[in-house]
Structure formats: structure tokens, C-alpha cells
Amino acid sequence: MAGSREIRNKIKSVKNTQKITRAMEMVAASKMRKAQDRMKKARPYGEKIRNVAAHMSRANTEYRHPFLIERDTVKRVGIVIVTSDKGLCGGLNTNVLRKALNQMKRWEAEGEQLEVCCIGNKGLGFMSRIGANVISQVIALGDTPDIAKLIGAVKVVLDGYTQDRFDRVFIFYNRFINTMKQEPVMEQLLPLTDERIQGVESANERPNTSWDYIYEPEAKPVIDDVMIRYVEALIYQAVAENMASEQSARMVAMKAASDNAGNVIDELTLIYNKSRQAAITKELSEIVGGAAAV
Amino acid sequence: MGTVFHLDIVSAEESIYSGPVEFLVAPAQMGEVGIYPRHTPLLTRINSGMVRIKAQLKDEELVYVSGGVLEVQPDVVTILADTAVRSHDLDEAKAIEAKRAAEEAMKNRESELDYAKAQAELMEAMAQLAAIDKLRKRKH
């Protein structure tokens, strides 16, 4: 019976692991619901600010914001990468980092200079390990995508754009499609593309562009404010989506882990019972053999 | 129509108010503004403070906003409320902090951008995942 004790210990340890993965699965499930709510709540703001931006770009503004102006030469690219802070969420971060890396390789081959802003610990770790030029970072966001924490890192990127350090800015994150599916996506942040600006309002478009807002105190600072908030809202939305993706990916991964642990336990129990029976059979045949010899 | 307009107060984290409104007072940067229906288009920053809302057949309501942007169209008024207290200096300080943290992290990086190494690292992770997937499928 030397092997059976070891098997029993192994079963116990797998059972403990299973308890942990079960607990993590349930935690992720409840966090996922909250993260999805938050993602949905962020949408009205994004839509409203897009409407304002659309009105503004259509109105006869005397000042055109740099975010709206397409540049001819693209020599330097800013990249915002949104990842999770923690692991144990399947291929979520790997997928988005791989997408980013492939794109970066392509850009580098075209002779463009790259600077990276990392949101989330996993992306930061990866980018600094491979030696990318990280210009700003936010980590330890927690479970709520707090806009106050994002402002600083985003500002570094936006300033880089307005000061001509970048000609374009892209964002990589995981789009939440449903609980089972998340998709790594790349989107252009700056300059703001037409579809981003026009999108919502194009249905009831007013061809008459002879009106303009009254700006208080002045046009430039107000437009600057709106534009910065718009880009922040886009990034916030991306972070919120990425968090919902993270929680659902973790839930799925932990469910798989619990199932696997269950399989392992079943197999080990089978082996344990077999070895127990073998031992009994052996003992019996020894006794019978001994009795026959006498 | 013409006696009410639609008001939306939204912040990045939630929608605070949405509905038809008769009259509105907001703390704009240049002083409080009162808005009735068919106001001329206006775009202004607002300070933190109370927004007074008078809806039809209802008492006045007070909503606190911590600053943001007020957009007025003849029939639609939108307040984009900030969720964070902000000012130029505050934002600047946060930016510097984010930059500093990044520079700190960059200090102990190894060398130039090494794509081969990165690719290898990612491929390994992907391979592990694929292997786990395969193992799972084979079992069932």
C-alpha cells in the first residue's frame, strides 16, 4: 500500500487547487457583471461627447483643433496598449500584445519611431522586457477604470501629439463581444477619423453650416477641453471594455481549470481504487496460497 | 413645443439626468447662465457647483457637477460632467508622475527593442495555451 498514500495526498492537493479555481471563477463572475455594467454606463457619455465634437467640426469654427487635422508625413507613432494588471485570464493579454507587436514590427520596418504608453501591469512588464520605449504608464487600476488615474498617462500622449512628437496615435485593447469572446483590436485615436466624428449624427445631418456656437470664455480653450475629454472618453471606454473582457476571460479560464481538476481527481480516484483492490487481491491470494501449502 | 428642451447630464461613469426640462441654471465659468428653450448655440466650460433643473410639473431639482462642459443647442442641452477634479496644473502634475514612473521602469530595461526575443516569448505563451486546448479536446 505504499503508492496509495501518495495518490491520496495528490488527490487532496488537486481538490484544494480546485477549491481555489472555483472561488476565483465565482469572484470573476460577479466582477464581470459589474464591469459590464460600468462599460454600458460609459456609453452615453461617449455618444454625447461625440455629438458635441460632430457639431463642432461641422459648425463654422474659426479654430480647427490639431486632433482633427490629418498629417501628410507619418514618421513617429504613439501607441497606447491596454492590458490587465493581473494574469490568470487565458490568452487575453497575449493576444493583444501579439497584435501590437506584429504591428510595431511593421511600423519599425517602415522606419517609423515608436513610443508606447502602457495601461495595465502586464503590458508594461512585457514592453519594458522587450525594450520598447515606454513614455508613460498607469498600473494598479483596480476593478474600476478610474478616469482620474488615466488622465496623467493620457496627457503625455496627447501632449506628444500636439507638440508634434507623434504624427499618429493608435490604441490596442480587447473588445468585449460576449462572455465567451473577446477580440484584440487596433484603433486609430489621433487624428480623429471622420467616422469617429460623424458616426452618430450623419442621419439627421444639417447641410447648413453657417451657424456657430457662442464660446465662453473663448473658442480655443473650450474646444481644446472638449477634444481632450473626447479622446479621454475613448480611452476610458477602451479600458472599461478591456476590464469586462478580463473578468469574463478569467471566469472562462478558471472554469476550465476547475473542470480539468475534476477530471484529474476522477482519474486519480480510479487509480487509487485499482491499486487498493490489487493490494487486497494480492493479500487474499497470499493467504489462500499459504493455507494450501500447509 | 418650444416650452421644453431635452437635457442630458452625463459623466464618463454614468448618466446623471436625462429628460425634458423647462429651465436650467448652470455655473458657467464666466458666471451662472440660465437657459430657456430655443437658446442660441453655446459652448462653455462650467465650474463645479449645483445645476438647477426645473422640469414640467415638478419642483426644482439640484444636481451637483464637479465641472465639465455645457453644450447648448436650441432643443438639446448636454452637460458633460467631469468625474475627477481637474485643473491645468493638476493634470500636468499627473502627467509628470506618469512619465516619471515610466522612466523609472525603463531604467532597468535591457537593451534596444528586441523583436525576436519578444516574439519568442509570445509564441511560447501561445503554444502553451494551444497545448492546453488540445489536451482538453482529446479528453472529451
What tens digit of pLDDT does each residue of A3-53 get?
Answer: 788 889 989 999 999 999 999 999 999 999 999 888 888 888 888 888 888
pLDDT in tens, A214-230: 888 788 888 888 888 88
| Distance set, CA B12 to CA A46, B62, B66, B69, B128 (Å) | 7, 20, 12, 12, 38
ipTM at complex level: 0.72
Task: State the pLDDT at residue A284.
Answer: 94
Rounded to whole angstroms, the Cα distance separating A53 from A37 reads 25
Chain B residues whose beta carbon lies within 8 Å of the beta carbon of residue A138: 98
Mean pLDDT score, A249-270 = 91
Sort A30 into a burial class: Cβ within 10 Å, 0-12 / 13-18 / 19+: exposed
DSSP state of B38: T
pLDDT higher than 50, residue A203: no
Q: How would you class A281 by CB atoms within 10 Å of its CB: exposed for 0-12, middle for 13-18, buried for 19 or more?
A: exposed
pLDDT at position A277 over 70: yes
Q: Which residues of B touch A225 (CB under 8 A)?
A: 45, 69
**Which of B71, B73, B138 to probe the A interface (max A CBs under 10 A)?**
B71
Cα nearest neighbour of B94 on chain A: A152
pLDDT, averaged across chain B: 80
Flag whether pLDDT at A117 surpasses 70.
Answer: yes
- The residue among A57 and A283 whose pLDDT is bigger is A283
CA end-to-end distance (rounded Å), chain A:
26
pTM, two decimals, is 0.81
Which stretch of A75-79, A197-201, A256-260, B29-33 has the lowest confidence by average pLDDT? A197-201
What's the rounded Cα separation, in Å, for the pair B124 and A227?
41
Question: Is A203 or A168 the better-scoring residue by pLDDT?
Answer: A168
pLDDT tens-place string over residues B83-134:
766 666 667 777 777 777 777 766 655 555 666 667 777 777 777 777 777 7
Tell me the mean pLDDT in the region A244-250: 92
Report percent pLDDT > 70 for chain A. Answer: 93
C-alpha torsion sign, points A273, A274, A277, A282: negative
Chain A positions in Cβ-Cβ contact with residue B30 (cut-off 8 Å): 216-217
Residue A254: list chain B partners with CB under 8 A.
none
Q: Are residues B129 and A131, on separate chains, in Cβ contact within 8 Å?
A: no
Measured CA to CA in angstroms, residue A194 lies from A47, A69, A191, A212, A294 at distances of 15, 10, 9, 20, 99
Put simply, the answer to whether B97 touches A152 (Cβ < 8 Å) is: yes
pLDDT at A192 over 60: yes
